[in-house]
Amino acid sequence: MKILVCISHVPDTTSKINFTEGDTKFDTNGVQFVINPNDEFGLTRAMWFKEKQGATVHVVNVGGPETEPTLRKALAIGADEAIRINTPATDGFSVAKQLASVAKEGGYDLVIGGRESIDYNGGMVPGMVAKLTGANFVNTCISLEVEGDKATAIREIDGGKETLKTSLPLVIGGQKGLVEESDLRIPNMRGIMQARTKPLTVKDPTDSNNETTTVAFEKPAPKGAVKLVDSVDELVNLLHNEAKVI
């Protein structure tokens, strides 16, 4: 089985979010970048397929040279090869088109993406890759087993879960549940050394226009101070008469 894991290069979850150039660009100053957490659950599940079922695992990212450390980290965790498509990731649809072209060309059986990236929260890339390549698609995927060309997946739905039977080629939008938090791997020294010599191919983007363009960013209005109350009577009174939520 050939697996392609799509990696988004995102600010660490603890990052303070600021903008620059008149609130039109994300301010990367002092920001640590990581593998998008939803993608990392998928990458870790891919490692399981590699170790238990002999799968090969490639990782891919759409972005400039500054995203390479994130790909090297994925190689250090255990991916076999990395691909970087050399264009900034500015629009979900165009990122999906780039990834779809890599997915088609490489003949992957399984493409693993994350439910959403934690920066733009678009949640569209895996589903679009599936549609563009004609593969089956399971979103918010919390469990995946593959046997031959058959797959069984569990999808989180609002208020529960749904078990699906489908076949390869398959694309998933993964999240926590694919593996547990405690299964996530920190690269060890051996992995980091090996990652330096594993292939990282840089590809030129295929032509595609952006369907959407973000023109400005805004931060939420600053919040007023918390109102501290001493009794539950007062709290219930405020929730009813002031906040009007009960």
Partner 1 sequence: MSIIVYTESEEGKIKKIALEAVAYAKGIADQMGTSVTAVTVNSNDTSELGKYGASKVLQVSNDKLNKFNAEAYADVLAQAAKNEDAKVVVLTSSANSKFLAPALAVNLDAGYVPNVVSLPESTSPFKVKHNVFTNKAFAVTEIKTDRKIIGLGKNSYGLKESEAAASTEAFSPNLDAHDFDMEIVSVDKATEKVTIADAEVVVSGGRGLKGPENWGMLEDLAKTLGAATACSKPVSDMGWRPHSEHVGQTGKPVASNLYIAVGISGAIQHLAGINASKVKVVINNDPEAPFFKAADYGMVGDAFEIVPKLTEKLKEFKAQNA
In the region spanning residues 96 to 155, those forming contacts with partner 1, defined by CB under 8 A, are 96, 118-128, 130-132, 136-140, 142, 152, 155
Task: Give residue 166's identity as a one-letter amino acid code.
Answer: T
Residue closest to 133 by CA, chosen among 164, 166, 99: 99
Show Cβ contacts of residue 36 under 8 Å, excluding neighbours closer than 6 positions.
Answer: 7, 8, 9, 10, 114, 117, 118, 119
- Contact between 196 and partner 1 by CB under 8 A: the answer reads no
User: Interface with partner 1 by CB under 8 A: which range of 81-89, 103-111, 185-193, 204-212?
Assistant: 204-212
Q: Which is nearer to partner 1, 178 or 200 (CB)?
A: 178
Q: Which is nearer to partner 1, 8 or 140 (CB)?
A: 140
Q: Which is nearer to partner 1, 13 or 201 (CB)?
A: 13
Instruction: Report yes or no: 74 and 35 within 8 Å, Cβ to Cβ.
Output: yes
Show Cβ contacts of residue 130 under 8 Å, excluding neighbours closer than 6 positions.
Answer: 111, 136, 137, 170, 171
Query: How far is the C-alpha of 40 from the C-alpha of 157, rounded, in Å?
Result: 21
Give the x/- contact pattern for partner 1 in 170-189, rule: CB under 8 A: -----xxx--xxx-------
How many residues sit close enough to partner 1 to count as binding (CB under 8 A)?
81
- Contact between 63 and partner 1 by CB under 8 A: the answer reads no
- Contact between 163 and partner 1 by CB under 8 A: the answer reads yes
Query: How far is the C-alpha of 63 from the C-alpha of 229, rounded, in Å?
Result: 49
- Contact between 158 and partner 1 by CB under 8 A: the answer reads yes
Give the x/- contact pattern for partner 1 in 207-236, rule: CB under 8 A: --xxxxxxxxxxxx--xx-xxxxx-xx-xx
**Nearest approach, Cβ of 99 to partner 1 (angstroms)?**
12
Show Cβ contacts of residue 204 under 8 Å, excluding neighbours closer than 6 positions.
Answer: 85, 86
Provide the token pair at 125. 């890339």
User: Interface with partner 1 by CB under 8 A: which range of 69-77, 102-110, 194-202, 205-213?
Assistant: 205-213
